[in-house]
Amino acid sequence: MLRRGLNRLLGGDERRVDSRTIYVGHRPCPANEAFIPPKFCDNRIVSSKYTVWNFLPKNLFEQFRRIANFYFLIIFLVQVIVDTPTSPVTSGLPLFFVITVTAIKQGYEDWLRHKADNEVNKYPVTVLEDGRRIRKESEKIKVGDVLEVEEDETFPCDLILLQSSRDDGTCFVTTASLDGESNHKTHYIVPDTEKDVESLNATIECEQPQPDLYKFVGRMHIYKNNQEPSVRSLGPENLLLKGATLKNTQQICGVAVYTGMETKMALNYQGKSQKRSVVEKSINAFLLVYLCILVSKALVCTTLKYVWQNKPGQDEPWYNEKTQKEKDTNMYLKMFTDFLSFMVLFNFIIPVSMYVTVEMQKFLGSFFITWDKDFFDNEIKEGALVNTSDLNEELGQVDYIFTDKTGTLTQNNMEFIECCIDGFQYKYEDTSSELDGFCVTDGPTSKLQQKAGREREELFLRAICLCHTVQVKEPTEQGESQQDGRIDQVDGLGVDEDMLHPQQEQRGFIASSPDEVALVKGAMKYGFTFLGLESKTMKILNRNNDVEMYQLLHVLSFDPVRRRMSVIVRSKSGDILLFCKGADSSIFPRVRQEEVERIRRHVERSATDGYRTLCVAFKYLSAEEYAWTDEGLREARLALQDREEKLMEIYNQVETGMSLIGATAVEDRLQEEAAETMEALQGAGMKIWVLTGDKMETAKSTCYACRLFQRSTELLELTVRTLQDPVKRREDRLHDLLSEYHKKAVQDAPPVKGGITRSWSSSGHDYGFIIDGATLSLVLNSSSESSSNSYKDLFLQICQNCTAVLCCRMAPLQKAQIVKMVKNSKGSPITLSIGDGANDVSMILEAHVGIGIKGKEGRQAVRNSDYAIPKLKHLKKLLLAHGHLYYVRIAHLVQYFFYKNLCFILPQFLYQFFCGYSQQPLYDAAYLTMYNICFTSMPILAYSLLEQHICIEDLLENATIYREIAKNAMLRWRPFLYWTLLGVFHGLVFFFGVRLLFSNPALQDNGQVFGNWSYGTIVFTILVFTVTLKLALDTRHWTWINHFVIWGSLAFYVFFSFFWGGIIWPFLQQQRLYFVFANMLSSVSAWLVIILLILLSLLPEILFGVLRKPRGPHTRQKLAHSSAGGLQSPRSSARPLLMRTFSDESNTVI
């Protein structure tokens, strides 16, 4: 880095900075020059976070950055330094427990990362050195090494392809782990390299490592026998990326150009930004409230202590005279230490163990998604996957869903449906009647001419057979015999023989896009079969069973900006033709305009029917035109700087003045249960936006098929077409349209009650909104900042009042911009993005929750998602059932933790008023330490994992139940206030109920009285039993685990109390509870008060549950079922949402 900076500063060779030189096989070129091997990074991959040496300090530093942990560390240090009423163990042990559990979890996760790194780094590879094949570990590969890779092996680093076992100098790879594309891609060897790689003397000059998977610029200098070196261009087609897999090729040799953390795969690995759930934000807000309560308690007690001590005789009674040291202590320092002592005494109101319980609940709860058998897909033999367990509860709070179309709403399984040649429609019918090949015209024509001319038909089919990058799979012997049989089935020509009969055996094709395979197979139906590419010669079998051969001169590759691809071929007769296919928007401006109209009607009708359309054009090139194009392409491909721009310029110049032949229509069918899923999610109150790169007509028909748009829905369109105005500027027209739509959808719309959506009421008018990528750029990036913000606000308000929004012709970055815009809008709605391809990764990472679909476009979306599911239909259960239950469980867990700790500390605070504010603890140190760790932790953990307050079937049938917990309903201030008041009520009952008992001096048979430790133990016993039984009352779904932990926790408390007080422990300086518990239970009065106070505390809860009538639509439904003879659970009594932290009804399974 320093050397690079000095080079720039001193005017060094710019090319040395921006490029690297690699010596193939580490051989100097030319051979007589001195060879100084350049230094590059090794091939080790490091994705782990810690090492053995830095784990402890780094992990502790990260954990103590969390406010609660740091707070308890301070409390622990205060207990160690200052003379406090409780032992440092009381706060040190829970803190140590939390830190240890978290460290073990994070250490285990990092160990898995180390294990995965080692698998990659120790993977054996074959390196060619001095004519020998040497097996090495992958991490020992150096830049310049020549490697040998066999079929189905993964490339260990980024390689330039030098040699292939295939005769045509190609190899096939899959890059599913990189860019999500699961289809085979074709790569080519560098032209004119030696057959024997060992004798190759060459250097490679290429760009420095950069993350773009589809971009690579370089050139190879080949040295032969003291001749001038020949130069060959290198591009992405020559580069084999680390992580890709070799397919359908026995063996290849390549030279390493990028290794280790400089490979494109490593540069593309971006750590996902930490996503925080809305529950975590609520916890922090509640924590601040309880911190204020804690400080207030400490201030009140400190103030009252000094007020009380100022009374005569109270400061220094005769039985407790001060020492000289105490008299000499500064008063303000004494007040400060007293304040700290009270803080320590009351610090248990802040539940440190809640964090570890929440982490365990999230981690263990995520297994229920992976274990769900309903998520298992028989096609791919996989189920759901959880990549991030921190967002489980967020699945129950989703407001907006952003979904991709192709592969998400649809299957990404392309099937050729029809084509149009010169305005005549050709639709394949699987019959042998006279309708085979019959054409339905798009306009009024003479009945005599119902088809295009034969010559145009064959030209169109040749274009489809030649304009692609499809490769034919190498057939086995059995496959060859089948192939011969298939060729024999080709029929002759005639009115009813325009198309082939369906083949008994399908031909195997390899392509980078399913569209291309569908088109090649479509041409087969009409009698033209692509036989393959051999040594730059493309072979096709025509209708007459004759093999036609074309020399492939150039491929003008497809890219998302041009939205088209072309091939230049030479026929046997010497004619040079250019065939081009692409989107109508990119083809129509480049052909003769008189040919456009008749094809446009067919394209628009096909798009309306939901088909994906492509237009096909051709052009004859003269010898001079081709010579100029050939020279321009060769020069552009050798350029190291701006290669893409130079190529694009040549492409655009040659792809003009073409003749339009026709168009194709390919169907991409809807996913299984796509419409039902979308309807259910809309019924649950979620707004659905479809973000797609496809054209508007196709996407619109998909939205209708998925029931996002109804026939009664009024569509508000904001596209390039609607912005066209001969008089006004585009920005003025945009402002007018936005204002008009805003008035219609927002200002004139009747007020809608919260949660009501289209599926609930037929009153009111439904609107759907459609926008394209170009118009969205205008909305987001207006020339003036003020108008841009106003456009954005208007756009958002309109969209929020529409039942569904369709954004078409979207670039991946625009998808992320839309998600970010909605995410940051007023009210901060929770967003969810779902997609299946590499182009969906940006929006998946941007949304609060990202869902990947394990589709046909690879696993890039899955790897970057928080959750992955096999099919779109699984999203319904993931949100309506799992999401709902996760949120209810964790909301109850959080509120319950604050409640039980308030119950715990309030009697301790009240006790100070009766002990002269002397900081005397009410509970023994063992109880203080064990309360949150052992006595009350397991029941709430089991509840938060297993509770089903409403059975899953009801949650799926009644999507509207999802709305009851929307907008973080159960962690708002009102339910928080209820739980806080409940904790105060129970704390008062515990303390003053026992104090009432102690007003009777004789509590034991022998006339002796109980002491202060008996007082605290009785209060603590009532506390443990009450908070545990409160949870039992709230439980609606009982399992053996719930029974075990609830009754087991109570039994453990009793056993521990007997055990702790029944033995003299040698390590204790004073044993406060020696036989206190056993002695307490010998008193009938103590038994009576314990039972009475527990019942008194829980009585309002029990009465409210018994007397309150059930409410809600799903309750009425259940009661209807019950009256019809069905059985209803006796535990299904309704409770108000704010009183219990979940919905009223429950279907309990015991």
In 3D space, the residue among 506, 711, 701, 673 whose CA is nearest the CA of residue 605 turns out to be 701
Cβ neighbour number for residue 1121 with a 10 Å cutoff? 12
Contacts of 462 (CB under 8 A, 6+ apart): 528, 540, 548, 579
Other Cβ atoms less than 10 A from the Cβ of 170: the count is: 18
Burial (0-12, 13-18, 19+ Cβ within 10 Å), 205: middle
pLDDT digits (tens, 9 = 90+) for 1013-1023: 788 888 999 99
Identify any residues that bridge with 530 across adjacent strands, giving them in sequence order.
540
User: How far lies 868's CA from each of 263, 469, 611, 667, 843, in Å?
Assistant: 26, 31, 28, 26, 15
Stated as kind and residue range, the H or E segment containing 58 is helix 55-63
| Contact present, 841 and 865 (Cβ < 8 Å) | no
Q: For 382, which DSSP code?
A: B
Q: Is 706 exposed, middle or buried, given 0-12, 13-18 or 19+ CB atoms closer than 10 A?
A: buried
Residue 1053 to residue 98: CA distance in whole angstroms: 21
Residue 440 main-chain phi, psi, to 5 deg: -105, 120
Angle at 760 between CA 755 and CA 761, to 5 degrees: 110
Q: Which of 95-99, 165-169, 498-502 has the lowest mean pLDDT?
A: 498-502
Q: Look up the pTM and report it.
A: 0.71
Beta-ladder partners of 846: none
Over residues 850-887, the pLDDT tens digits come to 898 886 555 667 777 888 888 888 898 999 999 999 99
- Which residues does 714 contact at the CB level (< 8 Å), separation at least 6? 765, 766, 767, 768
Distance between CA atoms of residues 1080 and 1087, nearest Å: 8
**Lowest mean pLDDT, pick from 545-559, 902-916, 1063-1077, 1115-1129:** 1115-1129
**Catalytic annotation present for 1034:** no
- In the DSSP assignment, the letter for residue 503 is P
What is the CB-side half-sphere exposure of residue 536 using CA atoms within 13 A?
12
Q: Band of the pLDDT at 950, cuts 50, 70, 90?
A: confident
pLDDT, mean of residues 940-969: 87
- Rounded-to-integer distance, Cα 648 and Cα 630, Å: 14
Closest CA to 486 of 429, 458, 524: 524
Per-residue model confidence (pLDDT) at position 443: 40
**Beta strand pairing status for 170-175 and 400-403?**
unpaired
Please work out, in degrees rounded to the nearest 5, the angle formed at the alpha carbon of residue 1137 by the alpha carbons of 1132 and 1142.
Answer: 65
Please check the confidence at residue 1027 and state whether its pLDDT lies above 90.
yes
Main-chain dihedrals φ then ψ at residue 204, nearest 5 degrees: -115, 125
**Omega into 30 within 30° of 0, i.e. cis?**
yes
Residue 220: pLDDT over 80? yes
pLDDT for the residue 1023: 92
CB 897 within 8 A of CB 351: yes
**Does the structure show a pLDDT above 50 at 998?**
yes
**pLDDT class for 616, splitting at 50, 70, 90?**
very high
- Amino acid at position 491, single letter: D
Work out the average pLDDT over 44-60.
85
The pLDDT of residue 503 is: 41
Handedness of CA 836, 839, 845, 846 (dihedral sign): negative
The rounded distance, in Å, linking the Cα atoms of 371 and 946 is 14
Question: Rounded mean pLDDT of the chain?
Answer: 77
Q: Please tell me the predicted confidence (pLDDT) of residue 754.
A: 42
427, 418 contact by CB (below 8 A): yes
Calculated CA dihedral for residues 1016, 1019, 1025, 1026, nearest 10 degrees: -150
Place of tokens 């490769």: 471
pLDDT, tens digit, for every residue of 53-65?
888 888 888 888 7
Please state the three-class secondary structure of 589-615 as a single string.
HHECHHHHHHHHHHHHHHHHCCEEEEE
Element spanning 510, H or E:
strand 509-510
Quick check: 256 pLDDT over 90? yes
- Among residues 338, 404, 924, 1034, the one annotated as catalytic is 404
For residue 802, how far is the Cα from the chain centroid?
A: 26
Which value, in Å, is the radius of gyration of the alpha carbons in the chain? Answer: 38
Backbone angles phi, psi at 383, to 5 degrees: -115, -155
Residues 6+ apart with CB under 8 A from 425: 418, 419, 439, 440, 441, 442, 602
Q: Which of 994, 1024, 1033 is nearest to 1012 (CA)?
A: 994
Specify whether the CB–CB gap between 999 and 907 falls below 8 A.
Answer: no
Among residues 23, 3, 19, the alpha carbon closest in space to that of 210 is found at: 19
Best CA proximity match to 641, nearest among 1104, 5, 1064, 18:
18
Report pLDDT digits (tens) over 432-465: 333 333 344 444 333 333 566 788 888 999 999 9
**538 against 264, higher pLDDT:** 538
Q: Does the pLDDT of residue 711 top 80, yes or no?
A: no
Beta partners for residue 534, in sequence order: 537
What share of residues in the chain are helix, strand, coil (percent, to 5)?
Answer: 50, 15, 35
Long-range contacts of 1096-1102 (CB under 8 A, 24+ apart): 1096/989, 1096/993, 1097/985, 1097/986, 1097/989, 1097/990, 1097/1022, 1097/1026, 1097/1030, 1098/1026, 1098/1029, 1098/1030, 1098/1033, 1101/1030, 1101/1033, 1102/1033
pLDDT at 477: 41
Amino acid identity, position 53: W
H-run or E-run covering 718 = strand 714-718
CA atoms in the 13 A half-sphere facing the CB of 266: 21
Tell me what pLDDT residue 984 has: 92
CA–CA separation, 610 and 608 (whole Å): 5
Res. 986: pLDDT tops 80: yes
CB 581 within 8 A of CB 463: yes
